Amino acid sequence: MLFLFFITSGLFLGWSLGANDAANIFGTAVGSRMIKFKKAAIIAGIFVIIGATFQGSGAAKTLSQLGSIDALGGAFTVALCSALVVTWMTYKKLPVSTSQAIVGAIVGWCYYTSHAVDYSTLSIIVISWVVSPLLGALFSALFYFLLRGYIRKSKVHVIKLDGHIKYALLIVGAFGAYSLGANNIANVMGVFVDSANFTINIGSFAIGSAQALFFLGGIFIAIGILTFSKKVMSTLGEGILEMTPETAIVVVLSQALVLFIFSSTALSNLFVSMGLPAIPLVPVSSTQVVVGAVIGIGAVKGMQEIRFKQVGNIIIGWIVTPILAGIVTFFSLFFVNNVFQVQITNTTKPAGQHSVIHQVPATINMPAHTGLILLLILAAAVFIAGISIYLQYNRSKQLNATSADKWSEQLQYAELQKSLSEIEIKDARIENGTLRNRLDEKRKELVTYALSIAEQRQFLENTLQTLQKTLHETSPEKKNLHLHEVTKSIKQKMSFSDEIEQIYQQAELVNDEFPNRLSTISPNLSPQEKRLALLLRVGFSSKEIAPLLNISPKSVEIARYRLRKKFDLKKEENLTHFIKTI
């Protein structure tokens, strides 16, 4: 019974991991309504348990090499401090990494108990934190390039392609969940492996303590996915780069491959048999890999789309997490060891070696069972406090969202009542005003076209003058110089970043009230979808929109189809006509 209590901190850490990291697997698919949350949670939970049970031993051995925690009291404190740090950072909306938290906590245990830190293992783990996002970026850039080429060349209908993407999200999500369980179960239960030694016999089958712990930890990761990850999944997509279902396939597949590589014993042995260096089996952060994968896609699409401020915040979180976990663990071990007199290590230090675990204050003298009872009460209170922080944070977000929705509904109702009264009293005046507005819009459109024509005419006149000047030049060097200037100006003109922004600015000036009306009608539209709607309202075709959004015409058709779904339009309703009536 006491053993079950001690591993509750690891189970709490597993629940926290499932509540947060599941968003890296199915977040975009659920947020874009490609896959229902219930189906995503069930698939993720099943494959997390399978990966944790059958492939979780590799990374756990590396954590044991870093610091072999040989007492349940020490393992309990390390896991609990890691879980509290992860919970606190999640509450503060800072980047979360259970891998870094558990490694920092183990180092804190080693320093407190005067156990030697295996710095060679620690250096391998730290290097993996750098290599894993780089691998994620490399894989995602390659996969995105291949997927984009396939979509451009594919002749599959838009609706059928949407179905293919949905099934692809399910498959790569299952693989991602399997790899998450295989690699990150070491963070959840790895610290208990050296301090637990038992065997469960079921008929002719015998299950060792490590596999049983991994199975139990996998179950609690799955529970975290089922109970608390829905809100995180639904709000994913406003981080480093705007995500679409297509990019989600690439990110999840890249993440799954990297986690699988760093947790596969068979793959590491294969490298050794081929005369290559063994792959280090270390727990890596799925969040770090996802960040690297997203940056890889951003590099292919254009670095200007990456939100570098968010990247900076994430890097700060990576640095803070292990340091904070180590400090919290160090002081918590002192408290647990000296106040509650719970054994945190079974290793006896040589005579003359100083260790803070032997410095028990003279004023503290209580029976062991009393200290254990107090520790049970404190741990239960801390566990309940952690859950309460999660629930309170979620509840406050829901209340704020509900209050905002109610206030919006009240405003809409008041505006509707006012509009109805005005229509009843001043019907003729409203009709005249509508006609005037239409004339104003047409006039603004003509002004926009005139400005565009004037700008293009000026560019062509300048180019013509340069070419005429070139024709009259007798010196080949000067002719080449003029031709180089013309070529340079044409290339600059072909870089449409400034012109694209001017087009958006002109379009917004012409349709100044349209963005507000669009947000009122459909508040869940992404920035990319709002730009697409604006361009459709101006009158651009799919071919004209593709270069403005830096996507292919096929992707524009897919985006238009999803926009129709969000507007809930019937098959016979025209999307462009509907947008122009907003």
User: What's the CA gap between 493 and 439, in Å, rounded?
Assistant: 33
DSSP of 400-461, one letter per residue?
A: HHHHHHHHHHHHHHHHHHHHHHHHHH-HHHHHHHHHHHHHHHHHHHHHHHHHHHHHHHHHHH
Phi and psi of 83, rounded to 5°? -65, -40
Return the ∠ at Cα 44 (arms to 43 and 48), rounded to 5°. 120
User: What's the CA gap between 326 and 334, in Å, rounded?
Assistant: 13
**pLDDT tier for residue 141 given thresholds of 50, 70 and 90:** very high
On the question of pLDDT at 375 being above 90, the answer is no
DSSP β-bridge partners for residue 202? 205
Distances (CA, A) of 328 to 68, 234, 321, 371: 19, 32, 11, 20
pLDDT at residue 482, rounded to an integer: 77
Query: Does residue 34 contact residue 166 with C-beta atoms inside 8 Å?
Result: yes
**In this prediction, what percent of the chain has a pLDDT beyond 70?**
73
* More confident position, 440 or 345: 345
The lowest-confidence range among 34-38, 378-382, 491-495 is 378-382
Dihedral through CA 456, CA 462, CA 464, CA 468, nearest 10?
Answer: 180
pLDDT at residue 52, rounded to an integer: 92
* More confident position, 334 or 312: 334
pLDDT at residue 398, rounded to an integer: 64
User: What's the CA gap between 101 and 84, in Å, rounded?
Assistant: 9
Return the ∠ at Cα 139 (arms to 558 and 170), rounded to 5°. 50
Mean pLDDT of all residues in the chain? 78
On the question of pLDDT at 338 being above 70, the answer is yes
Domain ranges of the chain: 2-400, 430-580
Q: Which residues contact 277 (CB under 8 A, 6 or more apart)?
A: 271
pLDDT in tens, 58-77: 788 888 888 888 888 899 99
Q: Is the dihedral of CA 174, 175, 177, 182 positive or negative?
A: positive
pLDDT in tens, 208-217: 888 889 999 9
Length of the chain: 582
The CATH number corresponding to 430-580 among 1.10.10.10, 3.40.50.880, 3.40.50.300, 3.40.50.1100 equals 1.10.10.10
**pLDDT tier for residue 45 given thresholds of 50, 70 and 90:** very high
On the question of pLDDT at 415 being above 50, the answer is yes
* More confident position, 228 or 129: 129
On the question of pLDDT at 277 being above 70, the answer is yes
pLDDT at residue 396, rounded to an integer: 60
On the question of pLDDT at 354 being above 50, the answer is no
Query: Does residue 550 contact residue 298 with C-beta atoms inside 8 Å?
Result: no
The lowest-confidence range among 193-207, 366-380, 532-546 is 366-380
The lowest-confidence range among 13-22, 99-108, 372-381 is 372-381
pLDDT at residue 31, rounded to an integer: 67
Distances (CA, A) of 357 to 105, 333, 337: 16, 9, 7
**In this prediction, what percent of the chain has a pLDDT beyond 90?**
16
Phi and psi of 200, rounded to 5°? -110, 120
**pLDDT tier for residue 108 given thresholds of 50, 70 and 90:** very high
Phi and psi of 579, rounded to 5°? -65, -35
pLDDT at residue 48, rounded to an integer: 94
User: What's the CA gap between 400 and 421, in Å, rounded?
Assistant: 32
Query: Does residue 310 contact residue 89 with C-beta atoms inside 8 Å?
Result: no
**pLDDT tier for residue 445 given thresholds of 50, 70 and 90:** low
pLDDT at residue 176, rounded to an integer: 92
pLDDT in tens, 227-243: 877 765 655 444 545 66
Longest dimension (CA), the chain: 105
* More confident position, 496 or 430: 430
Query: How many CA atoms, within 13 angstroms, populate the side-chain half-sphere of residue 561?
Result: 14
On the question of pLDDT at 412 being above 50, the answer is yes
- CA nearest neighbour of 173 among 127, 112, 236: 236
User: What's the CA gap between 285 and 288, in Å, rounded?
Assistant: 5
Query: Does residue 336 contact residue 371 with C-beta atoms inside 8 Å?
Result: no
On the question of pLDDT at 326 being above 90, the answer is yes
pLDDT at residue 256, rounded to an integer: 92
**pLDDT tier for residue 513 given thresholds of 50, 70 and 90:** confident
Category of 237 on φ-ψ map: left (φ > 0), alpha (ψ -120 to 50) or beta: left
User: What's the CA gap between 164 and 156, in Å, rounded?
Assistant: 10
Return the ∠ at Cα 443 (arms to 439 and 445), rounded to 5°. 115
On the question of pLDDT at 381 being above 70, the answer is no
Arithmetic mean of pLDDT, 177-197: 87
User: What's the CA gap between 330 and 338, in Å, rounded?
Assistant: 12
